[in-house]
Chains A and B, each alone.
Chain A
């Protein structure tokens, strides 16, 4: 048992913290207002090794481990949740390719994702009518000789318009149920890949979210990621890891809410004293700190199990569920502590309040996390 970070983990966290404080935090409010995708910051993340924290070194990844990755996401999210999700998705696309890809696929994609040459990687799993239940997807990939032809629509695709590569899930065998789904690597700009309109989101406004449509989009058979018919396995592995990223993002959000609130509570006076001297306020800070630490420990536990090659699906689900739900409480209380100032954009907490809301939804809703956990309990794990 050891609750300390390793030297590498501390170094990665310090790098992320410095960048977050110096570069991301000062730009976050403006990025939220304009909704502009932060190209320059993304390339800087690449230069710092933060776009492939856990990716293989032989392909340009930092190979610092899953714990270091979670620590990095926490630091970036503390400054800007939008940037954190952009970063997290690219990291996970790289990891998924590293795990399931061929040598050629890895050599082509990972260095470009890691360096920021490609501004992003994307996951194309959700559809307009298939979210928590990927088995009901209708996007098809029909085999034609040594090629596949994709047809269908994907929804809520983070960085979908910026991605150098998108992992797209499609049905290769309509009659085979969940064994008929296959994952593909589709590069940005492939003919037949059409980018739909930008979603106007309430939060995460400088991360890009689009719909994608595939119209007779032809890709080579070598674009299959993993094996034909094994797509769901790829998706579930990506989601298990992805949940650690979102748990880390939520943990960083709680910390940001706590820090902003502690600062405000010491500055703001009421009835002749700083409001931090009132227990109604200071106890809220204590609860936020406790929730933060619990969320952080659950997240890092899941990451460390992943890093050791042990099963971590249940623990990742617990981390994601706990951290994202705790973030909702924390950001709401942060707004409350700020009073009217919490409701306007002069202070960062209204942005945190909006940014946090999606954390209980994406990468598996809280309901899906509870299903995952309950299944594990009832199967006697």
Chain B
């Protein structure tokens, strides 16, 4: 076993870290405060190839492996978690499934410009009354000749306010439950598509999300992604990869909070000495570092398995479950180390703590991850 990054993976890490330090960290507080989309930073991510990290170069991507993607997700999220999720949605939830399930024609039209970062993608599975239980979705796509007519509502759609194309999941045959779901590529320029107002979120406020409405949107058959009834499979396989991205995001948020806690503890004095002299502080830092390392190994393992082309559902779920819950603990401890300063916006740790909370919810709640892992344990 060898858990060292390769030369290429190290370069990706260093490049992303540099970019995060110079372009993201200095602005993240402002974007958070204003709830504003970091358009310039996203443009630069595109120039760096970070909006299609694991997509082959001939299809517009950077042609790197999934470990590099996980490393990049960590570093970008360390700078700004909102920017991290914009990146992860375009990579994992949009480009990945088009790459895997798209026809050659679809890849030309719906993948290349997105992997290049010229256009932005989104993924619409969740509905107001259907989150973890996708088979309950109400959105319908009714076939009429060579077309589908799409009606329904999707909510909490990250990148929804900006997306040029959204992968939408809809029932094409309600009688078949989750086997009646199909996936569609829906350009947001289509007639009958409208957006709700942007969500007011606790954290990751540099990323926008909103509700999407589809009212008699007429889709040509060539916009269907994968076969009819294959939508659930498309969604689940996509989420296996997406979980690696979110686990990477959680890792980056935790790493930022940890670094800031160490720096603060070295400067702050109490009872006549730096607070790093007290075991209560030292031991918190030691636990934070240990849990971050454990999470990083789980994330890298899942990404590496994806690169090997082997099944990694349980491993991605473990990475996502552990990294996200670790992130909430670590960011909370970082606030504790900062004392009162941790509770005000003069420091960044309060943002990290708010940003952490969503990582336990989206792309499969912790509860869904545990279901996936338990199923794998009980299968033996």
A and B interact physically? yes
User: A residues within 8 Å of B by Cβ?
Assistant: 1-5, 9, 67, 258, 262, 265-266, 276, 279, 282-283, 285-290, 293-295, 297-298, 300-301, 303-304, 315, 318, 321-322, 367, 369-371, 373-374, 377-378
Nearest-Cβ distance from residue A293 to partner chain B, whole angstroms: 6
B289 and A2: CB pair below 8 A? no
In the complex the two chains form, what is the Cα distance from A37 to B287 in whole Å? 37
B positions within 8 Å CB-CB of A = 1-6, 9, 67, 262, 266, 276, 279, 282-283, 285-287, 289-291, 293-295, 297-298, 300-301, 304-305, 314-315, 318, 321-322, 367, 369-374, 376-378, 380
A-B contact count (CB 8 A): 134
Docked CA distance A262–B379 (Å): 10
Pair A282/B305 contact, Cβ less than 8 Å: no
**Would you call B1 and A374 a contact (CB within 8 A)?**
no
Least Cβ–Cβ distance between B199 and chain A, in angstroms? 29
B293 contact from A276, A298, A371, A374, Cβ within 8 A: A298
Are A1 and B318 closer than 8 Å at their CB atoms?
Answer: no
CB of A290 within 8 A of CB of B373, answer yes
B1 touches A3 (CB 8 A): yes
Assess whether B2 is in contact with A304, with CB atoms less than 8 Å apart. yes
Most buried by B among A295, A318, A374: A374
In this complex, what residue of A is CB-closest to B277? A378
Given contacts A1-B304, A289-B376, A297-B297, contact A377 B286 (CB under 8 A): yes
Q: A370-B283, A377-B289 are in contact. Are A282 and B300 (CB under 8 A)?
A: no
Does B3 contact A285, Cβ atoms closer than 8 Å?
no
Most chain A CB within a 10 A radius of its CB, from B283, B291, B377 = B377
Distance in angstroms between the alpha carbons of A374 and B2 in the assembled complex: 25
Q: How far is the CA of A1 from the CA of B321 in the complex (A)?
A: 23
Contact A373 to B290, CB < 8 A, known contacts A1-B4, A282-B370, A290-B322: yes
Contact of A289 among B1, B301, B373 (CB under 8 A): B373
B290's partner among A283, A318, A367 (CB-CB below 8 A) is: A318
- Chain B residues contacting A3 (CB-CB under 8 Å) are 1, 3, 301, 304-305
Query: Which residues of the other chain, A, contact B314 by a CB distance below 8 angstroms?
Result: 289
Residues in A with CB closer than 8 Å to B9 are 1
Of A266, A322, A369, the residue contacting B294 (CB under 8 A) is A322
CB–CB B285/A377 < 8 A = yes
Question: Can you list 28 residue pairs at the A/B interface with Cβ under 8 Å?
Answer: A1-B9, A3-B3, A9-B1, A262-B380, A266-B378, A276-B374, A282-B371, A283-B370, A286-B373, A286-B377, A287-B370, A289-B314, A293-B298, A293-B318, A294-B295, A297-B294, A298-B297, A303-B1, A304-B2, A318-B293, A322-B294, A367-B279, A370-B279, A374-B282, A377-B262, A377-B285, A378-B276, A378-B285
Residues of chain B contacted by A367 (CB below 8 angstroms): 279, 283
**Given A297-B297, A378-B266: A321 and B290 within 8 A (CB)?**
yes
Give the shortest distance, in Å, between A299 (CB) and chain B (any CB): 10
A288 to B322, CA, bound (A): 11
Q: How far is the CA of A2 from the CA of B376 in the complex (A)?
A: 23
